[in-house]
Structure 1
Amino acid sequence: MKIYSFFPLVQTINCSLKMKWTLILIFGSCLAETTLCWTYHYSNETMNWTQAREWCQKYFTDMVVIQNQAENDYLVSILPQKNSPYFWIGITRNHMNESWIWIGNNSTWIGNNSWAPNEPNNVHATEFCVEIYTNTGQNRGKWNDEKCNKLKHAACFKTQCNESSCERGRCQEAINSITCLCERGFKGDRCQTAVECPPLPEPYNGYHSCLEGNQTFNTTCRLKCDPGFFINGSSFVTCEDTGDWSGPRLTCAAVECPPLPQTYNGYHSCSAGNQTFKTTCHFKCDPGFLVIGSPAVTCGETGVWSGPRPICTSYKQALLALAGCGAFSTFCCICFCCIKHRQRKKLSQERPPEEGSPPCDTQP
């Protein structure tokens, strides 16, 4: 059995993939340049409907499936007018009370003028297959229901979609075009490009790192803050299929130290209006009072002040304290000296006399 392929000799079909092949037509030695897309084919010999579909599936993709009137008219325009101008097409049903169904996609499309006059008539109650007329006259391009065991030519189609047609999408093919229906988050003729999100600005007092190293669809970026700062809100954002980030701009806020209590007999003033990281607060006492301790404290990166809070005391109390400390120190010094003297005296008494020296105490 010979395989016959037919392509329009005059018109060049334009497909979105722009991939051109030179096709050798079996009808003579004519060459035609066309693009790689949906093509129609037919058998030279006749066969029943089941054999016709098997033949189409063996050599091409499947029996012809018509999706609209334009495809129907185009198919008729390229199929030859043979002595037996009848071709099986891929619409059928299993029972007279069922709807007509297209093979492959289960579509139920039937045009307003698809059937020939007085068709489908199901004369023999078993006409569950459909042929298309390609002869001239008013029935050209019309359909007729027929018994599936009758012999007709097979009308087939061959798709050019394959796994590599669309990188991240589904290939949709029509007569004159191949279209990639991209997955969410991808674009391009072949769905080869991921949607990009705008560059993330570097946050103040922090930085962000993106897991994939870029900022395209499904990329997740994480915020990290410098010491003394914490993440204000979510620490992650993701590039969405719309080209927008999933959340608000990432920011770092300064760590806060607990409020300083009011100082008795004094006051404090801070370098900033708040009491956050690196803020320094200075303490001053009222007239007649003296600062005891460090006069300044600084808010650290962990949210803790750098030292104990100083106090304000009166000069009189400070002098008394100083005098008390002086007297106590003198007393401690005297006690220390006495102890050391007693230790030295005891050691000298216990030391044995040197050899050859007369004893200190002699008997007559």
Structure 2
Amino acid sequence: MFCIFTAHHATWGWTYHYSNNTMTWYMARKWCQEHFTDMVVIQNQTENDYIVSILPNRTNSPYYWIGLTKEHINETWKWVGNNSTWVGEHSWAENEPNNNHITAFCVEIYINSGQNRGKWNDENCAKNKSPVCYKAQCNDSSCVKGSCWETLNSTACLCTDGYEGDKCQTVVDCPPLSQPENGDLKCTQGGWEFNTTCSFKCDPEFNIIPRYYIIAYVFNLFAPPAVQCPPLPQPSNGNYSCSKEGQIFNSTCHFKCHLGFFMIGSSAVTCAANGHWTGPRPVCTSNYISAISMNDRQ
């Protein structure tokens, strides 16, 4: 029968646990996984110092197994569970690790009153020592939309994009968009939450301002351009006048032929929303018969 001891280090963080019973490193990890989450994983010197403060002192070996290991002499030491490679600048005891075991590499932590208190020693995994375990407080319900992260004395939710709050339970809302002048706005979702796409559409006589125009427009560097058709050249033997200056959208230009000339085609064209004139420009000819004939065909 194993005797289990528990040390709680925080209300919301994980808890550390140990046993006075001794076992091999592999059995120690199995025992931790069966009773808690896994063998202890130390992520920084602060955690190392805390574990030292809660474990009972021992005057000599056996000490305590921790979750740092490797399988071959040339491999990097790694922590079980998360494969972290953290090793502090002063974590190892003097002259350690000495890689004195050719088949397996495990690590114990010295908990004594000597100069090596809290230091690590690489050891044969088959030796018997006491396990130190941890129990995670994070679970599937810890964070609604995010991942749970445990550190010393606390847990925290790392929210996925578009969510916020202590449990990532709140959808991030963007500032509301107002309907644009001379246009319309439609969005894919009812509110202004994350991942909503809003589409803008201008009224027929207006164009959407490219992004790089906006700053200039705000500071009155220039006004937003309206739809404009290509300039109309003056016709040979005639002239024209338009209802709007600049030949912009919805401007209608009326053509007239000089005295003695006759018009072939429509006498007026209009600038359409697509930036093109509604028809070909008329032609003025001195041949009355040709003009009558061509107009009859249209």
Q: Same fold (TM over 0.5)?
A: yes
- Residue 78 (structure 1) shift: 1.0
Contact preservation (8 Å) 1:127, 1:145: no
> Once the two structures are superposed, what CA deviation does each residue of 1:249-279 show, in whole Å capped at 9, x if it has no partner?
6x99644456445367764433432222222
Q: 2:51 aligns with which of 35, 51, 75?
A: 75
Partner SS for 2:28: helix
Q: Which residue of 1 aligns with 2:93?
A: 116
CA contact (8 A) 1:257 1:305 kept: no
Q: Who is 1:5 aligned against?
A: 6
Q: In the aligned structure 2, how far is the partner of 1:41 from the partner of 1:247?
A: 60
The one-letter code of the counterpart of 1:275 is Q
Q: Counterpart of 1:56 in 2: which secondary structure?
A: helix
Q: Provide the aligned length of Structure 1 versus Structure 2.
A: 277
Alignment partner, residue 134 of structure 1: 111
Q: Which residue is 1:57 aligned to?
A: 33
For 2:33 and 2:76, how far apart are their aligned partners in 1? Answer: 24
Partner of 2:249: 277
Question: TM-score when scaled to structure 2?
Answer: 0.72
Q: In percent, how many aligned pairs have the same letter? A: 57
Q: Contact conserved, 1:283 with 1:310, CA < 8 A, in 2?
A: no
**How far did residue 41 of structure 1 move?**
1.0
* 8 A contact 1:205–1:252 mirrored in 2: no
| d(CA) in 2 for partners of 1:106, 1:49 | 17
Name stretches of at least 5 consecutive residues in structure 2 with no aligned partner: 215-222, 289-298
Query: What does residue range 77-116 of structure 1 map to in structure 2 within 5 Å?
Result: 77-81=53-57, 86-116=63-93
Structure 1 residue 86, shift from structure 2 partner: 1.4
Structure 1 residues 196 and 311: CA distance shift in structure 2, 3 A: farther
1:151 pairs, out of 128, 133, 154, with: 128
Q: Aligned-pair distance for 1:89?
A: 0.4
Distance in structure 2 (CA, Å) of the matches to 1:281 and 1:275: 8
Question: Structure 1 residues 85, 134: CA separation in 2 closer, same or farther (over 3 Å shift)?
Answer: farther
Distance in 2, Cα, partners of 1:57 & 1:248? 61
Mapping 1:91-240, distance limit 5 Å = 91-121=68-98, 125=102, 128-184=105-161, 186-193=163-170, 196-229=173-206, 231=208
**What SS class does the counterpart of residue 53 from structure 1 fall into?**
helix
Counterpart Cα distance in 2 of 1:154 and 1:225 = 70
Cα deviation, residue 125, structure 1: 4.9
Q: Which amino acid aligns with 2:36?
A: F
Which of 42, 45, 68 lines up with 1:66 in the alignment?
42
Shift of 1:62: 0.7
